Chains A and B, each alone.
Chain A
Amino acid sequence: MNYEVVIGIEIHCELKTKTKMFSGAPSSFGNEANTNTNEIDLGHPGTLPSVNKEAVKKAIQACAALHLEIDPLIKFDRKNYYYSDLPKGYQITQQFFPIGKNGYVYIDDGDTKKKIRINRIHLEEDTAKQFHIGNETLIDFNRAGTPLIEIVSEPDMTSGKQAAQYVETLRQTLLYIGVSDVKMEEGSMRCDVNISLNKPNEGYGVKTEIKNLNSIGNVQKAIDYEIERQSKLLDEGKTITQATRRYDESTKTTIEMRKKGGSIDYKFFPEPNIFPIRLLDEWVSEIVNNLPELPEERKIRYKKDYNLSDNEINIYISNKELASLFENVMKYTDNAKAVSNWLITDVLAWLSKNNIDIVNCKLQPKELASLIKLIDEKVISNTQGKEVVLDGIMQGEVANDVIKNKGLQQVSDIGFILNLINEVLDEQPQSIIDYSNGKDRAVKFLVGQVMKKSKGQANPVLTNKLIIEELNKRINK
């Protein structure tokens, strides 16, 4: 039997701010446990929250990029529950008045574009991170208080593929506007999926929630599995249990964690320590109008400004660091085609061979532009560029220095080249005969010989030209 699939997604996304949502402690990933905390993050008695302006700004950027209406009156609420990873015994969130509501994104569903509506975006703080080792529970409070936005979609998706595209579209967008690292594997973007099946023309079925999906691939796989599982149960006339499930990567199945019976009463009420904050219209407009470029906008610009192929553009869209390197190199040259060729083939190959990330690479953008120019001007050959100079500039060297130090400079001194040519011609009388018999191949051979004698430094084009002149001279004698 065919069922209609209804999928909604909640995404928690850590905002990339220097400090935490309500405290001045640093907000960064990967530091030693319990070093990025202060009395506020630990929920010590007497502490009070102060709203991080930068986090509000980033939430506004996210709202603008995802077309949400922004509420200019920022209000926070308390969500009360006891858990060892929640220092205050409540989380400060925006239950009653989210910062943004009623937005949307378009996802590419094959040939057509599908609109996925976004119900709301709200600001809140993250909990601490727990580790269970044997019978022990260890808590790292570094994450406690990290600013989060929660993005809640409408139930507009109908397949695992659409869900994966939705998450990817959000990931790219948030990455582009710089509000988050959106690294699912590090937990800076976390994904919970709600899914239910129903027969056509019937109401929504019982939904299950799959929590904490840690990659876009798993979003799709977990949903595909869950659709199959629920279909089978319904086919057999069984009912679906409302429950929270998790995706198990080893068995590629979803596993029930807990049933959702009577839901917890979080006793939400307005946070008394933060008065409602009225955002200045000018401040909001300034943020919205200066929104960093979105992926869609960049695609159009790359086509228009650089005339790159769709293939190249897609590579840049999905690799933001490469795109930013591309733009930096383009500050020093007009030759987009050549820059793009070098980056997509040679530079990526070099990085992969040397196992270095783009962000850690020492290449100065200007030097790649120089390299391209030096080859264009025939100061060095293309082969020398790829084999020798690239390696140097990728390690932070200046192209001209590499050429000088490695003795690569092409020699265009006519006298010097002529000397070599005559030496070669004297040594290769057969070639002169071949040439006079119309075998043009002989010229190529001779150029090769001259290059060899010059240790590759002789300007090959000039050498070619001079050899033909010399050959003609000798034949006409």
Chain B
Amino acid sequence: MNIEEKVYEALNNAKLVNEKINAVINFVDPKEQLENLNEGKLYGMPIALKDNISTKGIKTTAASKMLENYVPIYDAFVVKKLKEAGAVTICKTSMDELAMGGTNLTACIGPVLNPYDLKRMSGGSSGGSAALVSSGVVPLALGSDTGDSVRKPASFCGVIGVKPTYGRISRYGVIPYASSLDHVGYFTRNVKTASLTLEVLAGRDDNDMTSSFKEVEEYSKLLNSDIQGKKIAIFKNVIDSLTNQKTKDMFNDLIIKLKEKGATIEEVSFNDDLMKAMLPAYYLISNCEAASNHSNLDGLRFGVQQDGSDTNEIMINSRTKGFGPLIRKRFVIGSYGLFVENQDRLFRQAQKVRRLIVEEVKECLDKYDCLIAPASNDIAPLLDDHSRDELSDHYLIAENHMVIGNFTGYPSMTLPMGFIDKCPIGVNITLKAFDEVNMFNIGLAIEESTGLKDLVAKVI
């Protein structure tokens, strides 16, 4: 099959798969891209982009009614990088509205269904991208990760989810959620493609002052699964808060295999109070930043504009009608946390908690190469599952510990760990800042240990 056939086959599959899993917001006609194809590292590879990644001339809605008609006038940095590398975008994928959520139930087009079980969630917020890679439609899809929005759906959909170091990939052109926590991330079905992809996406961008000047390494050429002597820390707080014995057993099996490969593995416990404070702190920081970040969505210059007698009323009406209830709730919480009389005890306090957590993790990773834990307590929840207890340990810690990767900005990756009831569940590793070489190498060792590589869910 030549490139054109391959791309059109992917587009066709995307359409078929989408009828089952509702993962796509907009399909993209690849014709023009195929006519101007660069012979780069991803030459001719069909890919999907989360719909919060700006594409010039192509609708970018962030799954919000507010942006239903929004067509960017510029390409995100990563879109330029992907074009240079010869990748071909075939669709924009569904997500939680404005990337705020972990279920992908809040997209304006409805939920993304899990390719392994259509009664289950894909996870979010990058659920559409995770589900399309999981379904075998594309070998690579981009997402964004503010809490665990790439790494959690990766776990639920049985694919690899990568969130490199903060500043490794420019955020320019990615519709934000919370600027200090936002990362560009992506999904693949094997470590090799994951390592190659970072070579393409990483690098300094003068449009993002937080992007790093650090040289981009050739991760795919440096791939090496020899973890002899690597020091791996088991994230004990997470293990202790797991309630699913199958997940525990599966994780222990993996640990045994990694020991057999020569890794030194020890348990590490962090301050439990800090671990329990992590999710509330995350909610405050992310909602405060989000409330401010999304103040530009006022219906005046772009997006869906509602009627009003003056500009002020237009803004109020557009924002009231443009956002879903969850978003409005989060904006209220965010604004409340920033009020001058609340800011010290809420937003600033949350930032202090964040700093303390970062210090603990840094101290741990000064001694160990990587921190490891199951990505989740369980497989993807059912779509109508409202049973979760948001104040329980297993929710606060086991289901949300990957926020650590966003608090610290450290590179973090989820890989398939095994199956429970024919549904996948992942394992997560987190490493020192800019230690992506080790991330891919330890990831490769995990991939070899589990044997879970190039998994494809049979949707069609």
Give the segment of A181-189, A251-259, A267-275, A405-413 that binds chain B: A267-275
> CB-CB contacts of A29-56 with B at 8 A, as 1s and 0s?
0000000001100111111111100000
**How far, in whole Å, are A236 and B62 apart by their CA atoms in the complex?**
62
B292 touches A44 (CB 8 A): no
**How far, in whole Å, are A84 and B207 apart by their CA atoms in the complex?**
25
| A265, CB-defined interface residue at 8 Å | yes
Given contacts A49-B209, A50-B207, A265-B340, contact A44 B298 (CB under 8 A): no
State how many angstroms separate the Cβ of A130 from the closest Cβ of chain B: 9
| A396, CB-defined interface residue at 8 Å | no
Which residues does chain A contribute within 8 Å of B206, judged by CB atoms? 50
Give the segment of A86-94, A346-354, A414-422 that binds chain B: A86-94
**How far, in whole Å, are A267 and B70 apart by their CA atoms in the complex?**
28
Considering the complex, give the chain B residue whose CB is closest to the CB of A88: B296
Q: Which residues of chain A (378-409) have a CB below 8 Å from chain B?
A: none
Which residues does chain A contribute within 8 Å of B172, judged by CB atoms? 46-48
Main secondary structure, interface of A, reads loop
Given contacts A39-B73, A48-B207, contact A80 B295 (CB under 8 A): yes
| A82, CB-defined interface residue at 8 Å | yes
| B270, CB-defined interface residue at 8 Å | no
B292 touches A80 (CB 8 A): yes
B72 touches A267 (CB 8 A): no
| A78, CB-defined interface residue at 8 Å | yes
> CB-CB contacts of B312-346 with A at 8 A, as 1s and 0s?
10010000000000000000000100111001000
Which residues does chain A contribute within 8 Å of B169, judged by CB atoms? none
B292 touches A273 (CB 8 A): no
| A437, CB-defined interface residue at 8 Å | no
Given contacts A39-B73, A88-B295, A275-B209, contact A46 B339 (CB under 8 A): no
State how many angstroms separate the Cβ of A269 from the closest Cβ of chain B: 6
**How far, in whole Å, are A45 and B64 apart by their CA atoms in the complex?**
12
Total interface residues on B, using CB and 8 Å? 46
Main secondary structure, interface of B, reads loop
Which residues does chain A contribute within 8 Å of B173, judged by CB atoms? 46-47
Which residues does chain B contribute within 8 Å of A44, judged by CB atoms? 54, 72-74, 296, 301-302
Considering the complex, give the chain B residue whose CB is closest to the CB of A268: B340
**How far, in whole Å, are A50 and B312 apart by their CA atoms in the complex?**
29
Interface centre among B52, B175, B296, B310 (most CB of A within 10 A): B296
Considering the complex, give the chain A residue whose CB is closest to the CB of B334: A267
Considering the complex, give the chain B residue whose CB is closest to the CB of A22: B209
Considering the complex, give the chain B residue whose CB is closest to the CB of A266: B340
Interface centre among B53, B60, B175, B300 (most CB of A within 10 A): B300
Q: Which residues of chain A (246-291) have a CB below 8 Å from chain B?
A: 265, 267-269, 272-275
State how many angstroms separate the Cβ of B100 from the closest Cβ of chain A: 14
**How far, in whole Å, are A44 and B54 apart by their CA atoms in the complex?**
10
Given contacts A84-B312, A137-B310, A272-B179, contact A46 B54 (CB under 8 A): yes
> CB-CB contacts of A52-96 with B at 8 A, as 1s and 0s?
000000000000000000000000001010101001111000000
Which residues does chain A contribute within 8 Å of B310, judged by CB atoms? 137
Q: Which residues of chain B (394-442) have a CB below 8 Å from chain A?
A: none
**How far, in whole Å, are A80 and B295 apart by their CA atoms in the complex?**
8
**How far, in whole Å, are A90 and B54 apart by their CA atoms in the complex?**
21
A45 touches B70 (CB 8 A): yes
Which residues does chain A contribute within 8 Å of B179, judged by CB atoms? 272-273
B72 touches A46 (CB 8 A): yes
Interface centre among B73, B76, B172, B347 (most CB of A within 10 A): B172
Given contacts A39-B72, A45-B67, A50-B209, contact A269 B175 (CB under 8 A): no
Known: A46-B172, A84-B315. 6 other contacts (CB 8 A): A45-B67, A45-B72, A50-B207, A87-B296, A273-B179, A275-B209
Q: Give the B-binding residues of A (Cβ under 8 A).
A: 38-39, 42-51, 78, 80, 82, 84, 87-90, 137, 139, 265, 267-269, 272-275
The 9 closest A-B pairs by CB, nearest first: A89-B295, A84-B311, A267-B338, A272-B179, A43-B296, A272-B180, A45-B175, A46-B173, A46-B54
A-B contact pairs, 11 of them (CB 8 A): A43-B296, A45-B60, A45-B67, A46-B52, A46-B175, A84-B300, A88-B295, A137-B311, A139-B300, A267-B343, A272-B180
